Amino acid sequence: MNWRQKWINPVLEKEFRLRMRTIRSPLALLAYLVVIGLLALGYIYMEMHNRGSRGFTPESSRMLFYFLSGAQLVLVCFMAPGLTAGVISGEREKQTLNILLTTQQSSTTIIMSKLFSALSFMFLIVFATLPVYSIVFLFGGISPGQLVAVFGFYVLVMIALGSLGVLFSTLLKKTVVSLIVTYGVGLFLYVFTGLAAIFIMSVTNNSARELSGFLIAINPLAAMISIFEPNFSQEFFRGTWSALELWHLFIPVHVILSVVSVLLAIRFLRPRLKRR
């Protein structure tokens, strides 16, 4: 058995062939890169126009990196659920799920293959933007370690949102309903928690600072800022919690969320007979 037969099962191979051989894949990649490139060039133009003879400084380069990271994070949060929320419900709507379940592939193989194949295109898109980030290194202000941390952050967010999409695609029969529920849960986790933390801080006059810190740590943008600026976490955690960073909480929460979602999807993929 060669490596291809060992690591690529029939489900994964079929998904790769269907997803990567259509004209939509390169067009989507091109459109994504054009958007990111235009955002970077637009930011550079505005900075050069505002600074005049001072040019593009390392401080401007660092702000460009923050801007690109935040913009790409928003795009990742928007695209990841759309790629995974129909992987199982789509098979059910095409009436091919029952045929898939009668094969020798286990539930774990089917779920993991669907998740990996759906996110593989997202991985390709995100890592294809590395040449755009190389603009930052021309002017300095950012270390390679920060770039690696940001891309690892993207991968974690994609896996978490993708796992939720696969779970709801397994539980719900319609792709549209699964898509709406996935976006709704993502909106609750990433928007409502941040707004709730800000509301608690403003209403309680900073007396519930730690509670707001635990809430906003779920927000990926706030957690990513804490990677760039460690002092940002000290706005929420002081005293006993002063050594805690927002991303320290973000990572385990999203790892647990991903694992639980995948396990539940595996559990409910195959119908189970009711016991008398």
What percent of the chain is predicted at pLDDT more than 70? 89
What's the pLDDT score for residue 51?
Answer: 66
Q: Is the pLDDT of residue 2 over 50?
A: no
What's the pLDDT score for residue 209?
Answer: 72
DSSP annotation of 22: S
- Cα separation, 225 vs 195, in Å, equals 16
Cα dihedral sign, 219-221-224-230: negative
Q: pTM for the whole thing?
A: 0.85
**What is the rounded average pLDDT for all residues in the chain?**
81
Residue range 214-243: average pLDDT?
78
Comparing 201 with 38, the larger pLDDT belongs to 38
- Helical packing angle, 220-228 and 144-171, nearest 10°: 170
- Cα separation, 35 vs 26, in Å, equals 14
What's the pLDDT score for residue 3?
Answer: 45
Q: Which amino acid, one-letter code, is at 38?
A: L
Q: Is the pLDDT of residue 93 over 60?
A: yes
Residue range 98-127: average pLDDT?
84
DSSP annotation of 219: S
What percent of the chain is predicted at pLDDT more than 90? 14
Q: Which of 20-29, 171-180, 188-197 has the highest mean pLDDT?
A: 171-180
Structure tokens at 150: 């940001």
Q: Is the pLDDT of residue 1 over 60?
A: no
- Give the Cβ contact number of residue 275 at 10 Å: 4
Q: Is the pLDDT of residue 98 over 90?
A: no
Q: Is the pLDDT of residue 266 over 60?
A: yes
